[in-house]
Structures are given as C-alpha cells and as structure tokens.
C-alpha cells in the first residue's frame, strides 16, 4: 500500500492500513465477482438447490480471491520493503550528491517532477539519520492490511446475495440483487470522486455504475 512506496526513513508516524482508493477497489472487485456469478443463474429454472449452489459459488469465489489478493498485498509489501532497505543502505554509503540522485530516481515520477533540490536533500538527510532496521520483514500492520483486503472482498458479497436469503421468489430476488449491485457501484464511484476532489462526484458515481455494469456483462459474456 502507500507505506511500502515511501523511501525508508520517510515513513509517517501513523498510517492508515488501507487508503481510500484501496478500499474502494477491493469492494468493487468483490462486488463484480459476486454479481457475475449470481448473474449467470437462470431465474426461469431456478429452484432452491440452484439458488443455494450459486450463493455458495459466489461466496467461495470471493473467499478464494480475497485470500489471493491478501497474499499479493503481503508479497508486494515485502518486496517493496526489501527494495527500500537496499536503497537506504546505498544512500547511507554514498556521498551527498550521489545520495540525492538515488532518492530522485526512486521517487514516483509525479513526485520527482515537483520535488526540488531542498526537498530531495531533506529526504536524504532523514534517510541517513534514520537507524537501519534489523529486519525488513513483514510487521503486524502489514498482516492487518492484508486481513482488511480479504474482508473487503468477502464482505462485499453479502449485500447482493442477501435478497436470495430473504426472498423466496427467485425472480424478485434477482431484481433486488441487481438493484443493490447498481446502488453499490454508484456509491463506490461517488466515494472515488469525493476522494479525488472531483467537482461533480455524482458524475463519477454514474460513470462507475455504467462501467461496472458493462464489466459484469462482458465477464458474463466471456463465460467468467
């Protein structure tokens, strides 16, 4: 997440386990996966057994992908932390000019474009002054972030399967499920627009609703 992307010695004292963009992305992922599986059900021929099978498949798929996603978060964090550990040692062992070049090369392009010499040298000094960690392995917050990713993918399944648990009529349950899916897509897009300080978050919500609906349709058409 955002922590792993920062040069060693520049980490804030406290960070959120998941940034808003990460939370929204994980919810969208789980939502689209579950909606795709449920959408494959034939309402005309749906009996209790088929409904149960589809619900179990939707939950099982999101459980599996939530686990995969969580493991990928840990792998990415470990890889980035190891890379930044090497960068920290290189900066400490280099002279001031070489250290500044190393840090400038490691910064994301949009940050490097606006960071002046004073900012980059301040980063170098903080890296040099920071004590080298004995281990660059995973920490408690990393596991909590991975758990958060897993839960977001899985929990996003439940609102759209809930109608099938509460309503006996499969056709009505399907309509309610689709309505909930569209509402969640809109809310996710609206939240994304607010996070991006978009002047018209209602527009981003509507765009996400449309994009999500198209993605679900494409995945279903491809047999996903």
Summarised one tens digit per residue, pLDDT across range 39-56 is 776 654 556 677 777 788
Residue 75: its pLDDT value, please? 92
Average pLDDT over residues 65-94: 89
Sorted by where each begins, the domain ranges of the chain are 26-221
pLDDT digits (tens, 9 = 90+) for 75-85: 988 888 888 88
Question: Average model confidence (pLDDT) for the chain?
Answer: 81
pTM (2 d.p.): 0.70
Query: In a 3-state reduction of DSSP, which class is residue 93?
Result: coil
Residue 3: its pLDDT value, please? 41
Average pLDDT over residues 162-178: 84
Average pLDDT over residues 147-160: 87
């Amino acid at each position: 997440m955002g922590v792993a992307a920062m040069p060693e010695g520049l980490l804030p004292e406290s960070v959120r386990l998941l940034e808003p963009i990460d939370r929204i992305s994980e919810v969208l992922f789980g939502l689209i996966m579950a909606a795709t599986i449920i959408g494959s059900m034939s309402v005309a021929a749906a009996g209790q057994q088929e409904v149960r099978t589809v619900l179990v498949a939707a939950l099982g798929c999101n459980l599996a992908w939530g686990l995969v996603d969580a493991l990928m978060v840990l792998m990415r964090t470990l890889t980035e932390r190891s890379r930044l550990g090497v960068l920290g040692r290189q900066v400490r062992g280099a002279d001031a000019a070489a250290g500044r070049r190393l840090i400038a090369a490691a910064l994301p392009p949009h940050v490097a474009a606006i960071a002046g010499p004073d900012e980059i040298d301040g980063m170098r000094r903080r890296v040099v002054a920071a004590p080298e960690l004995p281990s660059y392995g995973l920490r408690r917050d990393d596991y909590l972030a991975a758990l958060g990713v897993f839960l977001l993918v899985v929990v996003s399944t439940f609102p759209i399967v809930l109608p099938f648990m509460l309503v006996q009529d499969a056709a009505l349950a399907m309509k309610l499920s689709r309505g909930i899916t569209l509402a969640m897509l809109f809310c996710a897009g609206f939240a994304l627009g607010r996070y991006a300080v978009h002047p018209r978050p209602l527009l981003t919500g509507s765009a996400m609703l449309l994009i999500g609906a198209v993605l679900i349709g494409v995945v279903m058409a491809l047999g996903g």
